[in-house]
Amino acid sequence: MQNYLTIDVEDYFQVAAFADIVSPRDWDSMEQRVQANITPILRLLKKHEVHATFFVVGWIAEKHPEVVRAIIGDGHEIGCHSYWHQNIYDLTPEAFREDTLKAKTILESLCNRKITAYRAPSYSITKKSLWALDILKEMGFTTDSSIFPIMHDIYGIPDAPRFRYTLPQQGMEEFPISTAVFFGKKIPVAGGGYFRLLPYWFTKFALKRINHGEKQPFVFYLHPWEIDSEQPRFIHARRLSKFRHYNNLDKTMGRFKRLLNDFDFIPLPDSGAKVK
């Protein structure tokens, strides 16, 4: 079973957990760590001969084009992860269109190919922001991976399908973030904070259950900052935000190595930019 590996390329200070204390106006003054964090990930993927879809924040691409060039140089796919990494339901449709167009234009210039895959910051296409899918369609996107079929305080459409499907009104392919079902409850098991919080044996068990029990591939996601236990700490952040962000950072890389040994991965189909 070939599963879908995705990497959300953003830096530690751009995450939703710290949006209330770190303004985009401050980003230029922050220590930039994305390049140093992407390098070991690329090295590990090359060792395992695995390719992935990298959803890149436009601000990162503009400030650090060498990061995008390194990704495409290794044969990976590129998708759009917005420019300012703001939750879509906090934007107007006009602001969302402007943000997405800016990021898409930058990425296409660097990659020399149309960008056709999108992932919303913090999976913020919810029932409050379904209008964003129409805009993505208008802009030429054919693949989306923004919908998380769970209940959560900042994202999620709990009754959305759990596996790949075609969005009926837009005709786009949706790759929802994967969940496993235990006792009738959907459990998020496919990356990010859940990968750091849950013991690896449980993650492996749940993902194999998706592959072997349900005969479906899963969508896995990771952020470069999640392998960086030495990143600067925001001591004034909310306690829950700090827990979500800093929990088990020192264990992520080891678990990711095990994941690549235990499962087979490919990028999302038709999911973005390659050099011509």
Write out pLDDT tens, residues 43-68.
999 999 999 999 999 999 999 999 99
Domains of the chain: 2-266 (3.20.20.370)
Give the Cα separation of 57 and 10 in Å (integer). Answer: 6
Q: How many residues does the chain have?
A: 276
Cβ burial of 61 (10 Å; 0-12, 13-18, 19+) is buried
Contact 14, 85 (CB under 8 A): yes
Q: Is residue 9 predicted with pLDDT exceeding 50?
A: yes
- In angstroms and rounded to an integer, the radius of gyration of the C-alpha atoms of the chain is 17
H or E segment to which residue 222 belongs: strand 219-222
Q: What is the pLDDT of residue 153?
A: 81
- Mind listing the pLDDT tens digit for each residue in 179-235? 999 999 999 999 999 999 999 999 999 999 999 999 999 999 999 999 999 999 999
Residue carrying the six token digits 């409850």: 185
Q: What is the pLDDT of residues 134-187, one digit of tens each?
A: 999 999 999 999 999 998 888 889 999 999 999 999 999 999 999 999 999 999
Q: Is residue 20's pLDDT more than 70?
A: yes
Relative orientation angle of helices 34-47 and 65-73, to the nearest 10 degrees: 0
**Spatial CA neighbour of 60 closest among 102, 115, 6:** 102
Q: Would you give the DSSP letter of residue 267?
A: P
